[in-house]
Amino acid sequence: MELYIFNQDRELAGIVESFEYLRWTRRYSQCGSFELKATATPENTALLKEGNILWKSDDEEAGIIEHLELSQTDSETITASGRFATSFLARRIVWQTETLSGDLSACVEQLLNNNLISPSDPARQIPGISFSSPNLGIPISAQVSYRNLLDAVTEMCDTSSIGIKTVFAPATGIFTVTLYAGAVSQAVFSKEYENLTEQTYTESAADYANSALVGGEGEGAGRTFVAITGGSGESRREIFVDAKDLRSEDFGGDYTDALTFRGQSKLSELAIRYSFDASVNPHGNLIYKTDFDIGQTVKVVSKTWGVSMTTRIMEIEETYDADGQSVGVTFGKSELTIAQKIRSDMSQVKTALSASTGVSEVAEAIGDLTEVSPAIQGDTVADTINNLFGKLPALEVIVGAGTISAGQYALHNMAPGDSIYFTSWSGNKFSDQPSDDGHIFLVKHSGASTGNGYQRAMGFFISRNTMTFYVISVFLYNNPSGQANWLSFPLGALTDIAAAIRGSTFAASINNVYNAPVSGVRIADGAVTGAKIADRTITTAKIAAAFTDYSTTEQNTGRIWIDGRTIYRKVVNLGSLTNATPKSVAHGISNISTVTGLTGIATNGTFFLPLPLARYNNFASQIGLYADTTNVVVEPGNDRTAFTGFVILEYTKTI
C-alpha cells in the first residue's frame, strides 16, 4: 500500500514515505473519514497541507485533508485528518425547493446537478465531479429545501439501505459520486470460528417507534393526515411527523405518497438498533475485500450470547501502525449519536417554522393573549406592550405664582428642548438640596407657553419614599416673581463690581474684565489686551496656515514684518493674460501698508511660467509684474492669451 498526495489542482505532489499510523474508516451510507500521524519531516510537512488529497493505492476513495495538528514530545509529529471526497457535498446546500419524484438515483442526480455539478450559478459549481448510478428500483417522493446537500443525500441513502461512495481516478483527477446496493456475502462471523478477536453486541430500543401520524398541509379539521401503523397494545410506539412543508400543489396525485415517504423515513431513523462491533482476526478464515467488504450482508453468530443475525456491514475501520494492519467491523446500525438526535429533532422545528401554515406552532411559544390582564390586553402582542406602558402612573404638578425655588427659576429660563435634573422634589417645588421626596428629570416642552400663563415640561420622577416611577408633566407659572436667595448670595450684587468694568449683567462684566488693560490705567495703544495677545500669538493653526494655506480670501500668516506689523497673504486670480499689453486686476485689499512678497504663475495647462518671468536671450517673451495699493498689474511681452495667471500677495496693513 502506498499513500499518494495530490494537490488541490489534483496533480500528484508526492508520496508519504513513512508514518506512525493511519486510521481509514469506510462507511456504507455515510461519508468516510481518516486520520494520519507522521513524523514532521520537511517532506511530510510540505505534502500534508489543508485541501490536499490523500489517496490509498488499494482503495477507490480518497480523503480531503481538513485538519492539521503539529505537536512535539520526544519528536515532532504532524497529524492530518479529514473526510472522504463525498464531503464535497457538504460544501453546498439545496439552494431552493427541490421536488423529488422517481428512482433514488435520479433524485440524487437531480440534487447534485442543480447544486454542485452544473448549477445555474457558475460560482456554485465544483469542477471535476460527476455522478454515476444504476437504477436502484427505490421510488422516492419527497421535497427538500435549504438543507445541507450531504445530509439530504445520505439521509435518503440511509433510509433506503443504499451505499454512497466517491471514486477517485488519479489519472484524470475526476471524482465520481456513485450509489450502490451492497451485495450478499456467504461469510459467517463468529468467535467460535476464530475469525473475530473482540466483539460487542448492542440492542437499543430507546428511540424506537413503529407507528407515525404524518401531518401535511392545512389547519384543524382541514389538515391532511397519513397514518403508518405497526404493532398494537404495549408494542405499539407512536410519533407525530410534521410535514407541513410538503404542499399538494407540488406533488399532485402523489401527495399522499410524499407524506408516506416522510413518515417512513422518520420511522426508519427510529428503528430498533442492532449492532455488532468486532475486530476481525487477520489470520482467520475470511479475507477482507475477498470474502467480505463494506455494504455486504453477512451473518454474525455468537453461540455464547445466543445471538444470530443477518445484517449489513455498515462501517469498516482499517488501522495501520507498527504492528501491521487491523480491521474493525460494525455490523448493523449503531445507536443514534447525540448530534444525530439533535439534527433529527431540529428538522421537525424547521419544518414547523418554514411551513406556510405553521404560524400556530409559533403562537404557542408566545402564549395566548386572553391570558393577559383585561386592563392592558390589546389586539396584538405589540398593542398589549404599548398598553402596559400607558398604564404607568403619572403626575401633573402645577407650580403657581409665588412658589419660587432655584429649580423653578432655572426651568423658567430654559429654552424649549433643554433638559434639567433635580435631586429632589417636594410638594410643588424643585430643589438641588437632597432632602425631600425623590429625583426628577425634565425636558422643557417645545410649545413653551400653554396660553394660560404657564409653561410646560415633561419627564420622569422617581419617588424616594415609595420607589414608584412616574411619568410627570409640570405646568410652570410663566412669570416667577423672583429668584432663590442662594442664587444671588455667592454672586453678590452688580453694584459691588468696580465701575470701570461693570456691565449690565454678570456676563457683560466678565467680558469687560477679559478685554480690560493689564493695569487700571489704560495705556493707549501699548495696552496688552487679550485681543492683541491673540492677534500676535503664533499658534499651531497660524504656523500651518503660513506654510500651507493659499486662498483668494485674506489669510493671517502669524508672521511679523520688520515694522512689527502682521503679514497677511492673498491669492489674486488674473484670469487670461493679454497679447503684449498690460492688464490690471483689482486685488480688493484695503489699507495696504507694505507689499512684502509678490510672486505668481501662469499656465496654459502644459507649461508653467513664473511671474514675473525674466529671459536673458529673449526679452520679448518676458512678463512683468507689479502691484500698487489698488491693483496687480501684469505686462506680457508677447501673446500670452492662452495662459491663465495667479499672483500671491503678501503684505502688511496700516491698521
| pLDDT score recorded for residue 535 | 53
Own/partner contacts of 622-627, CB < 8 Å, gap of 24 or more, are 623/577, 624/582, 625/598, 625/600, 626/598, 627/587, 627/595, 627/598
Higher pLDDT: 311 or 429? It is 311
Kindly list the distances between the CA atom of residue 487 and the CA atoms of 407, 436, 510, in Å, as whole numbers in the listed order: 10, 19, 18
645 three-state secondary structure: strand
d(CA 138, CA 29): 15
d(CA 102, CA 473): 72
Q: Is the confidence at residue 477, as pLDDT, over 70?
A: no
81 three-state secondary structure: strand
Closest CA to 335 of 204, 156, 151, 210: 204
d(CA 28, CA 32): 8
Q: Is 108 exposed, middle or buried (0-12, 13-18, 19+ CB in 10 A)?
A: buried
Closest CA to 250 of 99, 95, 97: 99
- Which cell numbers hold the place of 648? 500671491
Closest CA to 550 of 568, 536, 565: 568
- Residue 301 in contact with residue 189, Cβ under 8 Å? yes
For 170-187, the pLDDT digits (tens) are 999 999 999 999 999 999
Check residue 368 and report its DSSP letter. -
For 532-591, the pLDDT digits (tens) are 445 555 555 655 555 557 899 998 888 899 988 999 999 999 999 999 999 999 999 988
Check residue 208 and report its DSSP letter. -
- Which cell numbers hold the place of 354? 418554514
Beta strands in 307-355 (DSSP E): 307-321, 324-331
d(CA 326, CA 281): 8
Q: How many CA atoms lie within 13 A of 367 on its CB side?
A: 7
Q: In whole angstroms, what separates CA 55 from the centre of its chain?
A: 38
Q: Is the confidence at residue 224, as pLDDT, over 80?
A: yes
Averaged pLDDT score across all residues of the chain: 78
Own/partner contacts of 249-253, CB < 8 Å, gap of 24 or more, are 250/97, 250/99, 250/143, 251/99, 251/101, 251/141, 251/143
Q: Is the confidence at residue 458, as pLDDT, over 60?
A: yes
Check residue 14 and report its DSSP letter. E
DSSP secondary structure string for all residues of 137-197: --EEEEEE-S-BHHHHHHHHHHHHT-EEEEEEETTTTEEEEEEEPPPEEEEEE-GGGT-EE
Furthest C-alpha separation in the chain: 125
Whether the model clears a pTM of 0.85, i.e. scores above it, the answer is no
Looking at the chain, the whole-number percentage of residues with pLDDT higher than 70 is: 67
- Residue 444 in contact with residue 414, Cβ under 8 Å? yes
Q: Is the confidence at residue 298, as pLDDT, over 70?
A: yes
- Residue 478 in contact with residue 451, Cβ under 8 Å? no
d(CA 232, CA 481): 93
Q: Is the confidence at residue 47, as pLDDT, over 90?
A: yes
Lowest mean pLDDT among 125-129, 427-431, 602-606: 427-431
